[in-house]
Amino acid sequence: MREASPSRLTQNPDVPSRQRLTIVLAGHVDHGKSTIVGRLLHDLGRLPDGKIDELRSTCERRRIAFEWAFVTDALQAERAQGVTIDAGHIWLHDPKRDTVLIDAPGHHQFIRNMVSGAAMGDAALLILDARESLCEQARRHAYLLHLIGIRQVAAVINKMDLVDFNQEAYDNLAEELTRYLFRIGLTASVVVPTVGPDGDNIVQRSNRMDWYKGPTLLEAMDTFAPLPSASRYSLRMRVQDVYRDGEKRIIAGRISAGRLNLGDEIMISPSNTTASVLSLESWQPNGGTAPTTAEAGQSVGLTINKPLFVARGDLISHTLDLPFETHAFTANIFWFSETPLVEGRTFTIKFCCLETKATVKSIVHVFDLDAGESRPGEQVPRNGLAQIKIYSHSLLAIDAFDKDPEGGRFMMTDGHAVLGGGTLTLDGLLDMRPAATPKSQNISTISHHVTAEERTRRNGCRGAIFWLTGLSGAGKSTIAMGAENALFHLGYPIYVLDGDNLRHGLNADLGFSPEDRVENIRRAGEVAALFANAGMIVITAFISPYLSERQRVRTMAKETPFHEIYIRADIQTCEERDPKGLYARARKGEIAEFTGISAPYEEPVEADLTIDTQDLSPDDSIEMLVDYIRAQVAVSD
């Protein structure tokens, strides 16, 4: 931690009851961030007595020129190389509030450090060099501020002495910056011209730039306000672990948003179980009284009134305003790895203490730093910015970044290597919770007396689900019915659940809206799981266009083997076949929400089997499926 001495601004890191403002200093290396901070502390008389003399003496011994940046650049490597490596935190205090200045590193090699520092900010100062146009790194930092969610921004055009205090040079760069910020959704409240080493317009107004009539840097900082307390959001607490203390099971975690009270009814997601809070647990020195409430920013333990299974990474909320449950989401990301990010890349994704495997389903667009615009792209380069669609291998309980700023951020890792990170959005996606949560409360699970092993011995094969997915016209029903006929005559207990057949009965009340499609597949998945639990081989033939709904069926199956079979054929091939005349009608607008035309189809990321009906005949396709099923359900003697 870096120091600043008492007076108008003083070091004061441990005053939790006071208002706190965090300001990030961002900008390219050598544009003067650390120098400005050092000069700011000096001009306010807030450095310890003798500090400047000590630094001057050190510089003389090393035979280097004195730099104001040395006031904050405490690391030996920083002084040796003249760059900020770590994100330095300077605690400041005045009668109104505590202020933390985060001096974020500007060099592109330390972009991770800049992001981690900026992630904590309420506001930002973007520092530019008056001699340069808006460089790539400054553009990147500006976009990262936008991505992280910082909306209070002031800009500083530093080193005005090196352009002879020229107003035209200032106006041109300020206009270029303003246009760029507007394109990415930011606005600079003020653009201050400064000379860092001399202190011009930092605390005192400069008489060398009398053409500038705006506020000084200190006055601009005074206009920033802390973000609203996270306690005002809905309750979110990610479970870190579950501990035993005698007979107690204490669920521990950190509250990222909202407030938790003794006796509250809570929902544990994604298991969708409810309970009441019996106690709040925290370490109390000298036997103090246990708390009755806890709020955002606090780590706490709690006990509940039911013996529920709770796992690390589960999300606790109140029973109203629940988090989103999904396998897929869209994210705005920054990519650190030297290896470009491409579609199909799998990595570990981390939301606080929740970790799971995830795969890039598609790259929506890559951000062009020079143009300040998004463009189509097939890969994201190192230090690149992009919007991508991510498919999680397990069901997630999450919130969009604008609803839970802390919980809506994530990292992408591979082992101990951090590959990137970003913020998520859930626009246009369906919440899987409504279909997954029972409305009846007074229900329980009844156990069968016949075991799965006994059914396997009786049938001579394992029960399993073989879920055929693909576009209309790809050949799902043809292959499913052909495989059923072949396997039945070989003595296997088998049945086909076909999408059209179920819509004549069980799902007759459903249409083709996104919500009805989800419910259609949920019902089909439940029926398939019941058949498979009874020891039968179940083949399904459903378009089932969404990755998340197919993953949910896999989750429904639980102990029953689930195999995703992709019946692949491109849209042109399917339209040429058009066995039911549906594509022609959809092209005329007679069928709304038709998959492949006016509704999306999400191809499997890692299908258990792919049957390409563009290359294979129907008989060969059926034989391929039959051989696969027989191998999967076979049991040894």
Three-state SS annotation for 152-215 = EEEEEEECHHHHCCCHHHHHHHHHHHHHHHHHHCCCEEEEEECECCCCECCCECCCCCCCCCCC
**What average pLDDT does this structure show over 493-502?**
89
Higher pLDDT, 579 or 161: 161
DSSP tag of 489 = T
Answer yes or no: are the C-beta atoms of 628 and 487 closer than 8 Å: no
The answer to whether the bond into 493 is cis (omega within 30° of 0) is: no
- pLDDT over 90 at 485, yes or no: yes
Helices and strands: H and E segment counts in the chain:
16, 28
Q: Is the pLDDT of residue 1 over 50?
A: no
pLDDT (0 to 100) of residue 14:
42
pLDDT in tens, 139-187: 888 888 887 778 889 999 999 999 999 999 999 999 999 998 888 888 8
Would you place residue 282 in the very low, low, confident or very high pLDDT band (cuts 50, 70, 90)?
Answer: confident
Q: What is the DSSP pairing of strand 379-380 with strand 265-269?
A: unpaired
Calpha distance 616→64 (Å, rounded): 75
Tally Cβ neighbours within 10 Å of residue 443: 8
Q: How would you label 409-422 residue by residue, b for 16+ Cβ within 10 Å and e otherwise?
A: bbbbbeeeebbbbb
**Per-residue pLDDT band at 36 (split at 50, 70, 90):** confident
Give the pLDDT band (50/70/90) at residue 216. very high
Query: Residue 18's pLDDT band (boundaries 50, 70, 90)?
Result: low
Known catalytic residues? 544
pLDDT at 82 (0 to 100): 39
The pLDDT value given to residue 156: 93
**pLDDT by residue (tens digit) across 438-459?**
566 665 667 777 888 888 888 8
Report DSSP state, residue 234. P
Q: Give the three-class secondary structure for 572.
A: helix
Tokens 């003067």 identify what position? 32
Q: Which among 90, 96, 160, 148 has a CA at the least distance from the CA of 124?
A: 148
Separation of alpha carbons 2 and 419, rounded Å: 29
Q: Model-level pTM? A: 0.66
Is the pLDDT at 58 greater than 80? The verdict is: no
**What's the farthest any 2 CA atoms get from each other in the chain?**
97
Query: Hey, how many other C-beta atoms are within 10 angstroms of the C-beta on 618?
Result: 12
CA dist 269 and 398 (Å) reads 9
End-to-end CA distance of the chain: 68
Going 374 to 378 to 383 to 385, the CA torsion angle's sign is positive
Neighbours of 488 (CB within 10 A): 14
Residue 602's pLDDT band (cuts 50, 70, 90) = confident
Report which DSSP code applies to 99.
Answer: E
pLDDT at 206: 92
pLDDT digits (tens, 9 = 90+) for 87-141: 456 766 666 777 778 766 543 443 445 455 445 678 888 999 999 888 887 888 8
Torsions phi, psi of 468, nearest 5? -85, 125
CA 558 to chain centre: 27
Does residue 128 contact residue 134 with C-beta atoms inside 8 Å?
A: yes
330-386 pLDDT, tens digit per residue, is 888 888 888 999 988 999 999 888 999 888 888 998 987 767 777 888 899 888 888
pLDDT confidence bin for 540, thresholds 50/70/90: very high
Could you give the 3-state DSSP secondary structure of residue 485?
helix
Joined together, the tokens standing for residue 331 give 């994210």
